[in-house]
């Protein structure tokens, strides 16, 4: 199950630097590629705004 980035994202870039799989794309709205995400949770742990959570 891939992680997802919610509306609380402030586009700080912290998650991109922390993702070991390179699954996060930068843009106006950050996104996580479910096919690349390895479900490690590193991005969620690093997110200062708590905007990343496990997908449903």
Average pLDDT for 5-16: 94
Whether 29 has a pLDDT exceeding 90, the answer reads no
How far apart (Å, rounded) are the C-alpha atoms in residues 45 and 26? 18
Whether 1 has a pLDDT exceeding 80, the answer reads no
Average pLDDT for 38-50: 96
How far apart (Å, rounded) are the C-alpha atoms in residues 36 and 49? 23
Number of domains in the chain: 1
Q: What is the pTM of this model?
A: 0.89
Q: What is the pLDDT of residue 28?
A: 82
CATH code at position 26: 3.30.70.20
How far apart (Å, rounded) are the C-alpha atoms in residues 23 and 36? 5
Nearest residue to 55 (alpha-carbon basis) of 34, 38, 35: 34
Domain limits for position 30:
3-54
**H or E stretch including 54?**
strand 52-54
Find the radius of gyration of the CA atoms of the chain. 10
């Amino acid at each position: 199950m891939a992680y997802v980035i919610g509306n609380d994202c402030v586009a700080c870039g912290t998650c991109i630097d922390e993702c070991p799989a390179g699954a996060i794309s930068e843009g106006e709205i950050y996104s996580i590629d479910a096919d690349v995400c390895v479900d490690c949770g590193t991005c969620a742990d690093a997110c200062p705004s708590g905007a990343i959570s496990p997908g449903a």
